Amino acid sequence: MTRTLAALIPLLPLAGWIANGLWGGRLGRRAVAVIACGTVGAAWVAAALLFWRVETAPGALSRVDLYRWFGAGTVQVAFRLLVDPLSIAMALVVCGVGFLIHVYSVGYMDEDPGFARYFAYLNLFMAAMLTLVLAGNLVVMFIGWEGVGLCSYLLIAFWFTRPAAAAAGVKAFLVTRLGDVGFLLAIFLAFGLFGTTDFTVMTQEAARRLALGGGAATALALLLFAGAVGKSAQLPLYVWLPDAMEGPTPVSALIHAATMVTAGVYMIVRLHAVFLRAPFAMDLVAAVGAITAIFAAACALVEPDLKRVLAYSTISQLGYMFLAVGVGAFGAGIFHLTSHAFFKALLFLAAGSVMHALHGETDMRHMGGLARRLPRTAGAFAIGALALAGIPPLSGFFSKDLILAEAFRAHIWLWVVGVAGAGLTSIYIVRAFALTFLGGSMRNLGEGAHDPPPVMDAPMRLLAGLTVVGGALGWSFTHPGVLERFLQPVIAEGATLVPRGGSGAGEAALVAASLLIAVAGIAVSWRMYVRRTLRLGSPWLSNLLRHQFYVETVYAAVVVGPARALARTAAAADRSVIDAAVVGVARSIGRAGQSLRGLQTGYLTHYAAFILIGAILLLVFWVSR
Amino acid sequence: MAILLFVVVACLALAGGVGVIASRRPVHSALALLLVLGSLAVDYLLLDAQFIAVLQVIIYAGAIVVLFIFIIMLLHVRSGEDPRIQAVLSPVAGALLCGVFGLAVLVVLSHAAESPASVGEQFGTVQMVGRALFSRYLLPFEAASIVLLVGMIGAVALGRRLSDEAPDRGRPIPAPEER
Amino acid sequence: MAVPPLAHLTLSALLFTLGMIGVLVRRSALIVFMSIELMLNAVNLSLVTFARVRGNVDGQVLVFFVLVVAAVEVVVGLAIIVNIYRSRQTVDIDDVDLLRG
């Protein structure tokens, strides 16, 4: 039973991909939509059933072997799925948010000629992501890992006739590839250290086989983290995410907010046993997370494009998640992953509604005063914004402050950076809200702008609801919350599940401090962008931020430039050397043929003479033998 | 006795051969060819090939040469060459080439020449050749008749004058003296 | 004293060479044709000679067939020459170069 259910979860969307991919053109929009949404919905139901199973039989981990894949000698790799609280939790989030976004897409992509192709790719993505989440060993996870990377490329470059979109897709794929090299090396290393990549084995054996702080543990952890850096868009491999906004907005919501980019966080939590044996790596993870959080928040401050603001916001929030797992707060990391999925997807879908109403406009400098025309969208965005800023009682408040509390306990500077980032977060999200929805009348943006139809509206409402109540999963800072308790069997070794008991007063002070910063940020931003009474910043600073601290410039000079030069050289060599040789051979044969033509003079006399010469040669040859 | 006859025949044949290739007018060439054919017929007799000798006279001398002369007259060909057109191969080169070939042929043939075997009286008679033709070589014999049939049909088909063509007497080629 | 076969063969070779010269040097189609007949006859002579030398009548049978085929060849060839004359008003073979490659 478990086996079937577990297998169905990734297989259902896969079937949807095959159906829509092969026959989508002929089936008609309605059928395509039903197949696509139906398979994801059914997968969610299967996940829910498995959840109930896991709940009623606590402590049960199920290994589901689908088939023996390959093996050589002592190394055997099975196509194995792992059903435990962690994977079920992730599956529920992925399928749930995924389903809502599928439904939203039916309305959003309604007029697009590539309707069937879109849903085929989206289903394929779901299949890959679910494979990743349910994987029982690193190899199967890698299949899902690469699969989501591929679908990310396919969907970012969905409107492939646009050069910007095609370039963005390629950029995303190549940059995450860099991280994937690390992941692959980690797989090899794991085989070497453990003889297998099975998660259960690795978790149990980690303490025995890996010396605390030793080279093996650190290397393995760092390689895994490299993969996470690419996939989850942390510094320095974040550059693909803002450009990925070229894809359709629901894609951005699903892949680049709620699911794919969180794979890195999930992977670290899954292999926490390894990371716990490498304190240096954990410190690095936390540091990178914290720096990325504040870096991305700063870049979002001056970004004029609405979707790109949200992209930087995602990078920043992912930084918080890595900060959490870096200090050992695995439960908190997953909690923030979940609540972020809710409110970030909500924000993206609201942005999508804005674009839908404005026929594709994303530049906030051309927006303003939309709250009057799209009141429901504005409301949804506001809820998401407040959650992002960390205002209670929305879920974002609980998850983010839990992380900050854990960070403080680990290292005070991490807390400082985190809180500063939170302040910037408030500023930029209020800025985005104000520029888009508030202010004077819109300039020349037509009369047709209106709130989205129900098919797009309902998912937004649901997500808004989840954002509001999601805090229930972990509303206490002193005792483990619902989610953490659920995950306990999996991360029992986590250092932080040690009762946080601590001083309730200390906790309260921290929470108060960060809440103060958040509210202050909102106030500052309000003054700047709504009342326009405050002006901050200098030209030098805004230039620095606008160019993302010149990170992209450095990349262009150091990586892209030499790569292009190499490509040009290779192309030239191909043309002048190889092609010339091949064409040269063909031409010389032609020329030989041309010259042989000269023998056909058309004169009988000549032909007779040739025959004679041939006969003479033959005779001489025979006579001489 | 035989040798003397042979020498005479050989000289006549060679003279005729030269005449064929060297005459200005085609009619003269045809007559020279006739001389060669006749001489060779006598030579065949010297070689105990009576049947072949007779056939030579009947077919070659009697039919083929007649055909040649017939065509020469039909086409009003008065000269060997059309002076308006240039030769494409130098005559000296051609002759030289042929000389080399002839020498090679001679060398080969000389290796094969042995003293003649002794044969019965029946050798080369009509009966003996006929018997061979109708027993061992029956199939080629029949095939040859088909070849003859095909050749006849081909000649008739080729020689037909189509309705829109002018009669055969077109612009005549000038005779050697008339230039 | 019988004639040595070599003598016949020499005559054959000489006639053959003469015929070849005629083919290469002369330009009138008819004369070329007659030269070819000369070559055929030279070959016939050597065939008959060898038939006599070996005492085997097969050589003469072959000559018989050569005779037949030569007759057919002359007939068809002359028909072709007539056609060429009809279209080009000449029988000079160096004038016919339409199949030049």
Chains that touch A (3 or more CB pairs under 8 A): B, C
Task: Give the Cα-Cα-Cα angle A287, A288, A289 (nearest 5 degrees).
Answer: 90
CA A221 to chain centre: 20
Q: Quote the CA–CA distance of A483 and B174 in Å, as a whole number.
A: 119
Smallest Cα distance from B134 to chain A, Å: 35
Q: In the numeric block, which tokens belong to residue A242?
A: 């803002």
Q: Do B68 and C78 touch (CB under 8 A)?
A: yes
Amino acid of residue B45? L
- Nearest chain B residue (CA) to A601: B88
Give the pLDDT confidence score for residue A495 in this predicted structure.
43
CA A382 to chain centre: 24
Length, in residues, of chain C: 101
Q: Do B21 and C64 touch (CB under 8 A)?
A: no
Q: Do C48 and B55 touch (CB under 8 A)?
A: no
CA nearest neighbour of A156 among A37, A243, A40, A261:
A243
How many of the other CB atoms lie within 10 Å of CB of B2? 10
Question: Which residues is A305 bridged to in the sheet?
Answer: A363
Q: Do B10 and C13 touch (CB under 8 A)?
A: no
- Nearest chain A residue (CA) to B103: A616
Chains that touch B (3 or more CB pairs under 8 A): A, C
Phi, psi (rounded to 5 degrees) for A480: -60, 140
Q: Do C23 and A603 touch (CB under 8 A)?
A: no
Q: In the numeric block, which tokens belong to residue B136?
A: 């061992």
Q: Do B29 and C30 touch (CB under 8 A)?
A: yes
Q: Quote the CA–CA distance of B6 and B9 in Å, as a whole number.
A: 5
Nearest beta carbon to residue A605 from set B88, B100, B101:
B88
Cβ–Cβ under 8 Å, residues A6 and A62: yes
Give the pLDDT confidence score for residue C73 in this predicted structure.
94
Would an 8 Å CB–CB cutoff place A72 in contact with chain C?
A: no
Q: Do B144 and C69 touch (CB under 8 A)?
A: yes
Query: Mean pLDDT of all residues in chain C?
Result: 89
Give the pLDDT confidence score for residue A81 in this predicted structure.
87
- Nearest chain B residue (CA) to A624: B108
Indicate whether this model's pTM tops 0.90: no
Amino acid of residue A502? G
CA nearest neighbour of B1 among B38, B37, B46, B56:
B46
How confident is the model over B26-76, as pLDDT tens digits?
999 999 999 999 999 999 999 989 999 999 999 999 999 999 999 998 887
Give the pLDDT confidence score for residue A474 in this predicted structure.
67
- Nearest chain B residue (CA) to A607: B89
Give the pLDDT confidence score for residue A207 in this predicted structure.
78
| CA within 13 Å, CB half, C14 | 16
Amino acid of residue A278? A
Give the pLDDT confidence score for residue A497 in this predicted structure.
38
What would the mean pLDDT of C28-39 be, rounded to a whole number? Answer: 92
How many of the other CB atoms lie within 10 Å of CB of A606? 17
Return the H-helix or E-strand segment holding A239.
none
Give the pLDDT confidence score for residue A574 in this predicted structure.
82
Smallest Cα distance from B94 to chain A, Å: 7
Which portions of chain A are predicted below pLDDT 70?
58-61, 440-449, 474-485, 488-505, 532-537
Contacts of A285 (CB under 8 A, 6+ apart): A225, A268, A275, A322, A325, A326
How confident is the model over B149-174, as pLDDT tens digits?
999 999 999 878 766 655 555 555 55
Task: Give the Cα-Cα-Cα angle A72, A74, A79 (nearest 5 degrees).
Answer: 65
What would the mean pLDDT of B130-140 be, rounded to a whole number? Answer: 92
